[in-house]
């Protein structure tokens, strides 16, 4: 809830600037001037850059005397924001003297009470003067471990924080009703029912809580000297793909194609084919492993905290040391899910000592470890694609994490990406011909900027936004998850526990 509120604050107050939303209250305590914030490097071109606050400041890394930052503080804004997400649906069945109507609606309202926000800036001119000719200790454990993980270094130069106590509240309202009429020529019986559920969760935000911050990049040389980047650049530059470039380019062995608004989903055919080739390596996993991984992934999809932590753990596995400085704020149950998932991968993919393959998709490997290397790369691709989906997209995809649901989504995307023209709606898989399931599929595609339409006898899919790679990562997520399901004779294997 805190992360949703800070993201909304950044969107409203600095939509195209350099602010980064604070992700947790615990992170807020770390976000002090000149705090070292690690910047993750992208492995796949669709990934967004991540920033991870550490427990260290520049002073901890410096050799010699400490640098005391000169700070400038100003009023930022008085802020009050309320936004609402509504979900509704209905189903109607009639005929044969039987009619039934069911409706439902859910409302989630998230609000941040009025609070005065202050902005604190580090005087960059003075910082540049004070840091000229200074060196850092390259043997410091943070530098050693972060360089192994190919993390970049930044320093906190600006932060937005509360000046008084405020409240973030989330109100969830669910309503539903059912009306049934069973009629014959002799008698008529009706049934009617309704209900609603309302719950409110609120958290108190103390004064001096950092809601957002910005950073300045720091480059290290092999002899320990460091430079600070003074060129103006926003955080958004890391996340907005350069889709204005014509044609396509090869990135990490995959085709990075231009995604244009209004184009058919078939434009992604080549890029998706490259991804599908990588997922073929998952066929080598045992049936039991497939089933267990899919059961765990369905749980992981519904909890973004677990998803993000799993992605971090996969990256940590690229080094031989335990992560000393990166601790996940997870419950015991959440940690068990991640441990179970990684234990499966270690048994299947790490038995031959494969460690660094995830971060070098084009890198070579010995013949003995090639198979386990490809499995690890494929799983890293799948999790990175899933992580880029919206919250709504994750919830909807989680619903389809059954053998029948995933096979149907895979068949549907295969049809849509193979043809540039509208298709006969008869090609829709049987499972998705149910109105409620097709509606969920529509919403799933819509959450990823794809308009799925079924009108008269025609089915079409059109990309609704040319910004980002959501249409591609949705297809990658669907095909990656479906690769964990065993199909036989054109059918699918049942997984009763999923």
* DSSP string of 286-342, one letter each residue: -HHHHHHHHHHHHHHHT-HHHHHHHHHHHHHTTSSS--SS------HHHHHHHHHHH
At residue 439, the pLDDT reads 94
* Per-residue pLDDT at 306 exceeds 50: yes
Would you place residue 351 in the very low, low, confident or very high pLDDT band (cuts 50, 70, 90)?
A: very low
The mean pLDDT of the chain is 77
Q: How far apart are CA 455 and CA 2, in angstroms?
A: 41
Phi-psi region of 472 (alpha: psi -120 to 50; beta: other; left: phi over 0): alpha
Contact 151, 143 (CB under 8 A): no
Q: Considering only 29-33, 126-130, 328-332, 341-345, which range has the smallest mean pLDDT? A: 328-332
Backbone phi, then psi, for 46, in 5-degree steps? -85, -10
Alpha helix ranges (H) inside 42-97: 58-61
Under 8 Å between Cβ of 216 and 36: no
Q: What is the mean pLDDT of residues 393-405?
A: 93
CA distances from 318 to 282, 321, 325 (A): 20, 9, 15
pLDDT of residue 356: 43
Gyration radius (Cα) of the chain, Å = 25
Most confident listed range (252-261, 262-271, 318-327, 344-353): 262-271
251: pLDDT strictly greater than 80: no
pLDDT of residue 223: 94
Closest CA to 411 of 480, 495, 488, 478: 478
- pTM for this structure? 0.76
Q: Give the tokens for residue 256.
A: 């990075």
What pLDDT is recorded for position 57? 95
pLDDT single digits (tens) 472-498 = 999 999 999 999 987 543 333 333 333
3 state SS of 198 = strand
Q: Buried (b) or exposed (e) across 422-444, using 16+ Cβ within 10 A?
A: bbebeebbebbeeeebbebbbbb
Of 107-116, 120-129, 432-441, 468-477, the one with minimum mean pLDDT is 107-116
| Structure-model confidence comparison of residues 115 and 126, the more confident one | 126
């Amino acid at each position: 809830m805190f992360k949703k509120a800070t993201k909304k604050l950044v969107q409203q107050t600095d939509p195209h600037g350099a602010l980064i939303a604070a992700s947790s209250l615990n992170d807020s305590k770390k976000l002090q001037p000149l705090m070292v914030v690690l910047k993750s490097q992208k492995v796949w071109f669709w990934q967004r850059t991540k920033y991870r606050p550490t427990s260290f400041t520049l002073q901890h890394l410096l050799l010699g005397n400490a640098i005391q930052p000169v700070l400038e503080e100003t009023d930022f804004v008085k802020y009050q924001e309320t936004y609402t997400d509504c979900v509704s649906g209905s189903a109607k069945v009639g005929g044969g003297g039987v009619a039934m109507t069911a409706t439902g609606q859910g409302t989630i309202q998230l609000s941040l009470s009025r609070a005065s926000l202050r902005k604190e800036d580090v005087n960059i001119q003075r910082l540049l003067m004070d840091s000229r000719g200074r060196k850092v200790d390259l043997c410091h454990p943070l530098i050693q471990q972060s360089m192994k993980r190919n993390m970049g270094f930044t320093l906190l130069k600006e932060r937005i924080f509360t000046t008084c106590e405020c409240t973030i509240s989330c109100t969830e309202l669910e309503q539903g009703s059912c009306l049934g009429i069973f009629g014959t020529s002799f008698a008529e019986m009706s049934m009617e029912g309704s209900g609603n559920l309302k719950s409110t969760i609120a958290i108190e935000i103390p004064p001096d809580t950092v809601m957002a911050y910005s950073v300045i990049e720091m480059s290290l040389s092999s002899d320990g000297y460091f430079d600070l980047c003074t060129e103006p650049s926003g955080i958004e530059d890391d996340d907005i793909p350069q889709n204005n470039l014509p044609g396509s380019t090869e990135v990490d062995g995959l085709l990075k194609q231009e995604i244009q608004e209004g184009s058919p989903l078939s434009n992604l055919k080549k890029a998706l084919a490259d991804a599908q080739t990588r997922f073929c390596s998952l066929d080598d996993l045992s049936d039991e492993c497939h089933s267990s991984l899919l059961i765990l992934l369905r749980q992981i999809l519904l909890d973004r905290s677990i998803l993000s932590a799993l992605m971090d753990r996969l990256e940590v596995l690229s080094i031989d040391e335990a992560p000393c400085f990166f601790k996940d704020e997870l419950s015991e149950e959440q940690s068990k899910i991640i441990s179970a998932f990684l234990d499966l991968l270690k048994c299947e993919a790490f038995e031959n000592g494969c460690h660094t393959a995830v971060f070098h998709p084009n890198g070579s490997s010995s013949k003995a470890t090639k198979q386990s290397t490809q499995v690890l790369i494929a799983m890293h691709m799948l999790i990175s694609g899933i992580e880029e989906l919206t919250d709504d997209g994750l919830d909807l995809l989680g619903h389809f994490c059954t053998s029948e649901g995933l096979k149907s989504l895979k068949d549907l995307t295969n049809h849509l990406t193979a043809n540039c023209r509208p298709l006969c709606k008869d090609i829709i898989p049987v499972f998705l011909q149910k109105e409620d399931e097709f509606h969920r599929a529509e919403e799933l595609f819509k959450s990823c900027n794809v308009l799925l339409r079924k009108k008269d006898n025609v089915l079409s899919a059109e990309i609704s936004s040319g910004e980002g790679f959501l249409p591609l990562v949705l297809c990658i997520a669907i095909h990656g998850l479906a690769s964990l399901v065993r199909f036989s004779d054109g059918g699918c294997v049942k997984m009763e526990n999923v």
